[in-house]
Each structure stands twice: as structure tokens, then as C-alpha cells.
Amino acid sequence: MGVHRFEELDVFQRAYKLSLELHRVSLTMPLLEQAALADQLRRASKSICANLAEGFGKQAQSKAEFKRFILMSIGSADEMRVWIRYCVDLGYIDEATWQRWRDEYEAIAKMLQGLWAKV
């Protein structure tokens, strides 16, 4: 792969940047949502990055294990599309933000699928 650290993966960088943005926006949601939707947004968006990091660290011992963690990241990227739909439908984000985030998570999922195929 030519990558020595998980932070060098383009997909990690992209997912991490989006996760930070989502985290900041989630903190502006109503208190009622802080323990529900906002928390789920933060956890699912961060799990993409965390699973990449954990799997990357295990690849020297097991390529299959790395692939398994990439699959979990793909699942979290797809899950995020559900949570952000709730955000737009509940009025916590505008349509333009939703479309941008949706497109980003679709792109991240495709990048992860490409990574999975390479490993």
C-alpha cells in the first residue's frame, strides 16, 4: 500500500475532517438531543476513523482482520447517512449541509470499498 500510518490514508483524513465538523454542529443541537441523536452522530462518525486506525494496526498480523475493520467503517459511513437524514428532517441542519454531508459519506464509503479491495 505504501502507507506507514493510518493518518496517511486519504479516506481517514477525509472522514476525520468531516467527523470534526459534525461533532461541532452536534454540540449546537437542543439539550434533548445531546444524549440521543447528537451522541449517535458523534459516535458513528468517529467510529469510521477509529475502526480504520484499529484495523490498520492489526494488518501486519492479519490482512483479514484489517478488511473486517474496513467493513465496519463502511457500515458506519452508511449509518451516518441515516443520522444526517434525521438531522435535516428535524430541522437541525439545512438542506445544503445535508446534501454535502450525504455526498461526503457516499464518497467515503466508496473510498473504503476501494481500500477493502486493495487489502
pLDDT in tens, 7-20: 999 999 999 999 99
pTM: 0.94
Q: What is the mean pLDDT of residues 76-80?
A: 98
pLDDT at 2: 82
Q: Is residue 64 part of a domain?
A: yes
**pLDDT over 90, % of the chain:** 97
Using the predicted structure, report yes or no on whether residue 40 has a pLDDT greater than 90: yes
- pLDDT attached to residue 1: 59
- Whether residue 17 lies inside any domain: the answer is yes
In a domain, 30, yes or no: yes
Domain annotation covers residue 93: yes
| CA–CA distances in Å: residue 66 to residues 73, 77, 86 | 11, 17, 31
Inside any domain, residue 1: no
Mean pLDDT of 46-73: 96
Provide the CATH number for the domain around residue 103. Answer: 1.20.1440.60
Whole-angstrom distance, CA of residue 105 vs CA of residue 87? 15
**pLDDT above 70: residue 57:** yes
The C-alpha cell 486493495 sits at 118
Number of domains in the chain: 1
Find where cell 447517512 sits: 81
110 located within any domain = yes
> Left (φ > 0), alpha (ψ -120 to 50) or beta: where does 91 sit?
left
- In which domain, by residue range, is 11 found? 6-118
